[in-house]
Amino acid sequence: MRLSDIGVQLIKSFEGLRLNAYKDSAGVWTIGYGSTKYENGKAVKPGDLLSSSIQADKLFEHTLTRYEDAVNEGVKIILTQNQFDALVSLTYNVGPGVMSNSTLLKKLNAGDVTGAADQFLVWNKITDPVSHEKISINALSKRRFLERKLFLT
């Protein structure tokens, strides 16, 4: 499966467009629509700049494939488009490695769709770059609520 237009707009609305490199809430250098690496695999670094939203869109499309593939490879049951879109959005945010070992994925592959949906709400924390403690982030709580809602529709 591939992300629908609804899924694309969902992720873009959560990530926002930034043409200048910035540190996200977890302290990771990010650019465009939440990309942390370029097409060549190099990491985003301070001072990086994208020339236009067109360049950001191309980087997003390239970046997105990795997360779509991770969901396609990890999920062993048939998904609706909305479920797929919600899972790609979550995976785009937490990373394929985290998703592949998650309780959410285990529950989903066991056929516990409601249990899997409830697991979206668990992923609302970051590791504070200073204290190294897990802290809840309001923006992530909102994102997880909306992803869960999409997953269940």
Catalytic center residues: 15
Residue 34 DSSP symbol: T
CB atoms within 10 A of CB 111: 10
Q: 23 — alpha (psi -120 to 50), left (phi > 0) or beta?
A: beta
Distance CA 30, CA 60 (A): 12
